[in-house]
Chain A
Amino acid sequence: EDQVTQSPEALRLQEGESSSLNCSYTVSGLRGLFWYRQDPGKGPEFLFTLYSAGEEKEKERLKATLTKKESFLHITAPKPEDSATYLCAVRRSGNTGKLIFGQGTTLQVKP
């Protein structure tokens, strides 16, 4: 059965304190791993898509990496505005689009 597990559930950082969020997955034939950001009261906002092991994507203070079993979202020198819930999702081959989400990591960055 396809499964996505995110850790930690919650993370508190001081402004400028870098860290990483983990997304472990088991899926038959990965056809994309997706990272989203969700602010309270809003829908998930797309950040990155990774397709193959070794791939990396960057956007401002965020960098996403992918291995055959997990993905990391690295946050460098975070700011309070980076506070949000970060969601990871996978899509497997033959599924024409279905995304399976993890439970998310809620990040709080204190000034």
Chain B
Amino acid sequence: DAGVIQSPRHEVTEMGQEVTLRCKPISGHNSLFWYRQTMMRGLELLIYFNNNVPIDDSGMPEDRFSAKMPNASFSTLKIQPSEPRDSAVYFCASSLGESEAFFGQGTRLTVV
């Protein structure tokens, strides 16, 4: 298995633009997580899905952030409009039930 696949690896965008991050979880996994990592706050859970259904989105910073999981093999995290304070590394991870989560390589987002 190729592991969790995220795209793009790097994204530079201007303030106010829409940004869409993509994730393909490991086949057969039924839980998917979106995390954000910064030096100041470490790894923060934004949202997680179980069987394609959002279970906890309490970590989503504000209405500018939205996430979808239309099927078991694809998820998106969208930021609209983007702001400089959204600059961070965004990770997607997946797991099977309560087993360990496997992370993708992340998307480094820079908003200028």
Contacts and interface: CB of A to CB of B under 8 A. Distances in A.
Q: Do A and B bind each other?
A: yes
A99 B101 contact: yes
Interface in A15-74: 31-32, 34, 36, 42-46, 49
Contact of A97 (B42, B43, B98): B98
Interface residues of B, number: 24
Contacts, number: 57
Contacts of A49: 99-100
B98 A91 contact: yes
Given A96-B31, A96-B50, 12 more contacts: A43-B91, A43-B93, A44-B43, A44-B93, A44-B103, A49-B99, A96-B98, A97-B50, A97-B98, A98-B45, A99-B45, A101-B35
Interface residues of A, number: 22
A78 interface: no
A42 B97 CA distance: 24
Nearest to A36: B103
Contacts of A100: 45
B102 interface: yes
A97 B100 contact: no
A46 B31 contact: no
Contacts of A7: none
B11 to A, nearest CB: 15
A65 to B, nearest CB: 18
B43 A101 contact: yes
Contacts of B31: 96-97
B52 interface: no
B100 A96 contact: no
Contacts of A103: 42
Top 7 nearest A-B pairs (CB, nearest first) are A43-B103, A97-B31, A101-B43, A103-B42, A46-B100, A44-B103, A96-B50
A75 interface: no
